[in-house]
Each structure stands twice: as C-alpha cells, then as structure tokens.
Amino acid sequence: MQPPPRKGNYVKFLKNLHSEQIAKLLLKNQNECDLLEDIRSFLIKKSSIEKSYSDALLKISVAFLNKKIANIPDIKTEGSEEKWNMWNVWRTVLEENETAAKARLEAIEVLQNQINDEAKALRAHKLQIAKKCTDHLALVQKELHSSVQDVDKTKKFYFDEEQSAHEVRDKAKDIEEKLKKKKGSFFQSITSLQKNSVKVSSRREVLEEKSSGARNDYLLSLAAANAHQTRYFLVDLQNVMNTMEHNVYEKVQEYLALLSKIELLTCTVVHNSFKKVRDQAQQLSREYNMQCVYLFYPVLKQHVQYQFEPCDGDSIDHITADHGGVVTILSQEAKRWATRIIRETNNIKENTRKLQVFQALRDSGQKNDPNDPNGPDLETKIESLKNSIRRSEIAKAKAESRIECLKNGDGNVNVEEWLADMGDINAELQRSNSTSSLPTDGGATSAMTSDYDSEDYGDGPSDSPVPSDQPQSSSQDEEDRPDSAEIDKDWALVEKERQRIEQLTAGWDDPTQVNWEETRDTEEKTMYPQTAPEEPEGPVYKCTALYSYTGQHPDELSIVENEQLEVFSVDSDNYGWSKARNYKGEVGYVPSNYLDIEQETCDPETHDTPTTYQLRSQISFSSVDYMVNDEATNQLQHCQSDEDVEAEEQSSEKSITTVWEKKDGGIIEIPSYCIALFDYDGNDPEELGMKEGQIIKVVDKTTHVDDGWWVGELGNKMGHFPSCLVKECYENGDLVPTPTSENGDSDFSNEDHPEFVTSGPPPPPPPVFTPPELPPTHLFPTQVIVTQPTPIGDHGPPGSFAPRSST
C-alpha cells in the first residue's frame, strides 16, 4: 500500500482506497463462490457418470449371475493348493464386479450428501452475507473518514497559525537588530523603533501561543486518526473478511480431501476384487478343469473299448491260421491293409501340402485360388482338405490297428514284408508319375492322364499312387466291406499299372521329328484291340502344323507346333476345318489356318494303306488322353467303303428311331441320349441347365410337335432344354449320324462328313490369321439365350477359328 501524501487532502485519498478495498473484497468473495460452484458441478457430472456406469455394471453383473451357470464344483482336498475351475472363476468375476458397482454407488451417495449439498449452501450463504458485510465496512470507513477529516482541519489551522507567527517573528527580529545598532532611518527615530519593538514582541508572543495550540491539536488529531486506522485495518477489515469467507478454505480442504479419500477407498475395493480374480485365474488349467468336468459329467470319461467275447468253450483270443485256406486269406488281408496304409499316408501328405498352400494364400489376403478363380473359395477348400485329412487319418489308424492285430496273431503272416513291398512299389510309381509329365509348347506341364489316375483315385485330392477301385469319398464304405476279392484286384492293378507305365514311356517319341516312311513300315502292338482307320478318298497332302492345338471334341485331332501331318480333306465346305492324320494314324479335324499345306500330293505308290496306322492308347505330344475302350474306338472310326457306310447308317437309324423293342416276350424302352454342344443355364425352375460335353438322357421329344424343347434327365434333375443346343449321341457320348428320311434320302450328307468328299487339288490356303466363317448350323436361334460362352481349352493365334460341334 502506498503511503499517504505529505501534502494534500487525507480524506480524499482514504476514500479512494476504501472504495477499492470494498471492490476487491467483493471480487474475492465471487471467486470463492465460483470455485465452490465448479467443485459442485464437477462432482455432479462425475457422480452422474459414475452412477450410470455403476448402475449398468450392477445390472449386467446381476443379470449374468442370475443366468444358469454350470454349477461344476471344485475339487477340494486337504493339504493341496486351492484351485478353481473356470466357471467358478467367472462367477467370482461377476460377484466382484457387483461389489465394485455397489461401492461406487455408495461413494456417489457420500459425495452428494457431504460435498454437493454443503458446497451449495456455503455458496448461497457467502452471496447473501457479502452485501451485509460490505455495508458494515462502509459504515466503519465513514467513521474513519471523520477522524481523518479532523486531522485535515487541525493540520490546516496549524499551518495557518504557524505561518502568521513566523512572519511576526521575522519582523520582531529585524527591529531588535536595528535597536542594537542604534541606527534609525531618515524617516523613523530610535524612539519609534522602541515602541514598535514592544508592540511586535507582544504580538509575537500571542501568535506563538496560538501556533503552539494549533500544533498540539494537529498532533492529537493525528494520533487519534492513526489509532482509528489501526483499529480499522486490524479489527474491522479482518472481521468483515472472515465473515464473508465463512470458513471457505477449511470447507474446500475438507471437500477435496474427502473426494480423494473416497476415490482411494473405491479403488482399493476394485483392486482387492480383481486381485482376487487374478489369483484365481492364474490357477486355471485345462487338466484341473477337465477333472472337474469328468467328476460332474462322468459320461465324458467313458472310453468305450470292446473286448473279445468268446463262445462257451473257445479259449482262443487272437488270430490263428490252423487251416491252409486261412493263411491265404490272412495274406490277402495283409496286402489289403498294407496297401491302404500306404495310400492314406500319401493322401495325408498331399492334402497337408495343399492345405499349407491354401492357408498361405488365405494369409496373404486371397479369397479364391488363382488357379481356380471360378471354383470354391479358399475357406471351403481348406475345410474340405481338413475333412479329407481327418478321414485319411481315421482310415490309416484302423488299417494300422488291423495290421497290428495280424502281427500279434499266430497266422504266420509276414506283415512287414508286405509293408516293405508296398513302400517300394509306391516309390517306383511316384518316380514313374514324376517322369510322365511332358512340357507343352507354352511351357506348361501336362500331367499324364490314364486309367490309373482317373479310376483308381476318383475324386480324391491326392496323387497317391496306391490303387483303389473306389473314390476316396467312399473309402469308409470300402473299408467295411468284407470283400476278399478286392484284395487281389488291388494287387493286380498295381502290377498292371507298373507294367503299363513302362510300356508307355518306352514308346514316346517326338512327333516333330517323324520319319513317315519308317513309321509306315513299322507295326506296333498295343494293349487294346486295333481298329482300321478310315481310308481317305482323293488326294493326300502333306502339311506342317503352324501352331499347337488341343482337340475339344472326340472327332478333333490334337497337334503341336511343327508336327508333320497328312491332310486328305482340305477345308471341303467344313467352315475352316480340315481332316488330317498324324504319324500314328490318328485322324481328326484341325483348323485349316493352323496348317501350312504343301501343294504337291503324296506319291500314291508310297502311300500305304490306313491299316498301317494304328491307334495307340498312350499319352503323346499331340493328345491329352487317348485311353479309349474298344467300343469308343470302333464308334469313332468311319466306314471304309460305301457298303460299310450304308450298314452304319442303317444301324444308327435303328438305334435312334427304334424306341421300343421286344425282349423275352415283353416291351421295354430303349433310352436315347444327347450331348450338350454349349453351356445353358435354365431361366426357369422347370428348365434343365447343362454344361458343354454333358450327356443328357432324353425322356420326351414331344413327337410330331417340334417346338424346339425336349425333356431330359441329367443326374437326379429332370427338365426342359433347347434341342438346338444338343446333338444326339450314344450312351457313352459318341455321336450318331442323322437317320434316313421317309422318302429314302439319307441326311448323312457330305456337309456333315467332309471326309467322304473327293476333291481335286485344294485351293490356295487362307491366310494364317484369317478366321473361318461361322457355319449357319452353329448360329444361336433368336429364342434361345445362352448365358455363358463356350469355354475354349487352347487359344490359337490371333484370328481364331469357328468352334466345331461334335458332329
């Protein structure tokens, strides 16, 4: 505080000071009230949040506690460490959460009662007494102003009297000096000076007396004012401040301390609760939980094992071979189950490898197999592989148990020998399979397809070389069949496959390096009956394959780049297709713009008969799978003469037009079949969907009403399908010629079979990349909607050819 000025009005300065003090006291009181309101508002909002959380926690804890929790008791034994099962630990978690919620609710209630309400009352009281206190302080200050005002008056009177006395004192001093010198002025004598000196001295004494009185009054009033100031500052002002505070500092201290104490108590309750939960959770173990579960559900511990129950009087409980025939049967059993073990082991290895590949693709973010984008998703394939592995492991365990039973018997069956033999055969077949894949022109690998792969393995995902007569999906049924003839069949198939693979691999050669003269003079023996290929009519031309092509239909020929061919029907009204024959004698249609045809014909003298070209049932560079049976081979070969053609027409006509025939005195129905030329998705539940190449059993053709729709059966589904998208065929899929019309004219025309057309020298071949014209018979009718394009296996060069139906 600044000291009062030495000169000036004390009252004016004091009034300004007191006004500022009252303003600051009111501001101080308002700040204290604001702090109380902030504490109260904070606690209200915090309590609301805590109450909502505690109510919700209490609600869910009680709800889960009221649920039916498995009442699996703990195993309590004296002297052992206390343990809990997970159901009881979970119950403890719920109970401790309930305890924590209740503790929080109690804390909220304490805060509301002891802080919120008191803080609100204290703030209201402070606001109420602030006006009264300031009014009282103003009254005290007014009294102080009166005291200070007296000081100002006495001070002014003192200054006035002292100034007058000082002037008279100076004048008397001058007169005394002149009298001492006895020197008067020209106008004043010594006598007059003496008279003035007496008069001034008298006046000086009076003024000095007044000055002394004024000084004394001033000092007395000043002492009184200072005493009043001290009283005001030490008593009156402090009392007003204390009254306005109303112990606010002690209350705030109490509120904050109580808040901290309640929080610590709540945290202690929660800490103790979850410390208990943690200690119990650390004791959890699967072994102890399973012991409690087995004690509560004893049925889960029952391991069912069957014991041999002999008949009365029979004391033998193991396998014996007391008779000669039994030894043979046991040996067959050993073969059978040794084969099964090897097969399932290979299945498990292969499926595990595929499973790891699919899992790696899934972990990398893939949804589908990149090699099979239209197939099932990775999750479906992974689940299927896991099921296959599980079934294989079960089948392997059962087979191993049977083998172990044979080992422990007295049947004198050398099980280890059979297992070793099967292992050697397995390794040999794996080596054979690894060498049976040859690279194509695109650098891809074409795996060998044979009866061994397609029949012995069925739908199984494994490339296991162990043969079987059933698909893997039916392995469970196969295992349970007590068919002893199957054992010999499996063993015979293994030997047969091994011999056949050796024969096949020995006959492989490069079709691009063929000596046709040497080939014509060489006769090869095959495992299947030989059928004579058709005799070409007309000139035969040599040509070279410009590109590789894989046949899409049975009557098409697969070729590789630079392969030497003979063409005897060059694009003869067959819409860009020519009939060719390779060095093996295989005949079929190939795209004309894939061939470089020489203009010179072959020498008729050096042209051997077609009987020198024999079909080989093996895998080659220019084929995918030539494993055909005798019936299919005979049906694929065309007639060699006009008489054969006529006989074939008559036989095929009978097979198509004859729907009923007599058999053993009764009438039976001869079913007819057709093959799908294109994909078709049914647009109605009554329509039958089909894929290209599927064989459909024709149920009804709606005789004499040609509306373009037939009724057929595919699998277990029957429905209508467009007749323009199919071609009649035999049951095995071989196409049949069109039957003879009623007027005797045959529809077996040269347009459908260009191999019977005799032509002169062919015209110049079209440009290599010129696509052939699409024949009218392959155009879709306007009433038919094909939802999917016909898939093409191998794509040729730019400028592709028109797709051929399997006619």
Same fold, 511-636 and 642-749+774-778: yes
Q: What is the DSSP letter of 787?
A: -
pLDDT of residue 613: 38
Question: For residue 77, what pLDDT is reported?
Answer: 74
pLDDT value, residue 783: 41
Residue 245, pLDDT score: 87
Give residues with Cβ within 8 angstroms of 546, minimum separation 6. 561, 594, 595, 596, 768, 797
- The identity of residue 538, as a single letter, is G
Pick the CATH number of 511-636 from 3.40.50.300, 3.30.70.360, 2.30.30.40, 1.10.260.40: 2.30.30.40
pLDDT attached to residue 525: 39
For residue 710, what are the CA distances in angstroms to 181, 729, 774? 170, 15, 26
pLDDT value of residue 76: 79
Given this model, what pLDDT does residue 360 score?
Answer: 93
Q: State the chain's maximal CA–CA distance in angstroms.
A: 200
| Domain 642-749+774-778 is found in CATH 2.30.30.40 | yes
Cα–Cα distances in Å, from 666 out to 392, 661, 663, 669?
A: 49, 8, 5, 10
Segments making up each domain of the chain, as ranges? 10-150+237-259, 324-506, 511-636, 642-749+774-778
Q: Which two tokens stand for residue 195?
A: 């008279």
- Residues 762 and 568: their CA atoms lie apart, in Å, by 10
Which amino acid is it at 405? C
In angstroms, the CA 807 to CA 778 distance is 11
DSSP run (H or E) holding 441: none
The whole-angstrom separation of Cα 795 and Cα 433 is: 27
Q: How far is CA 205 from CA 162, 166, 171, 681, in A?
A: 12, 11, 13, 144
Residue closest to 657 by CA, chosen among 676, 672, 674: 672
Nearest 5°: phi and psi at 397?
A: -60, -40
Q: In the prediction, which pLDDT does 459 show? A: 39
How many whole angstroms separate alpha carbon 358 and alpha carbon 518?
50
- Determine phi and psi for 29, rounding to 5 degrees: -65, -35
Q: What is the DSSP string of 511-577?
A: GGG--HHHHHH-----SS---PPPPP-S--EEEEESS-B--SSTTB--B-TT-EEEEEE-SSSSSSE
Written as six digits, the tokens of 391 are 């079934």
Q: Residue 664 is encoded by which pair of tokens?
A: 């053993």
Degrees, nearest 5: CA angle 135-137-138: 65
Separation CA 703–CA 631 (nearest Å):
30
3-state secondary structure of 718: strand
Contact 562/506 with Cβ under 8 angstroms? no
Looking at residue 553, its pLDDT comes to 84
- How confident is the model at residue 157, as a pLDDT? 84
Q: Which residue bears the tokens 């329509």?
A: 687
Helix or strand or coil: residue 413?
coil
How far, in Å, are 269, 571, 573, 579, 772 from residue 568 at the CA level? 100, 10, 13, 6, 19
Tell me how far apart the alpha carbons of residues 710 and 694 are, in angstroms, rounded to a whole number. Answer: 15
Name the stretches of the chain with pLDDT < 50: 1, 432-487, 505, 507-514, 516-533, 572, 604-668, 703-704, 740-802, 806-807
The DSSP symbol for 766 reads: P
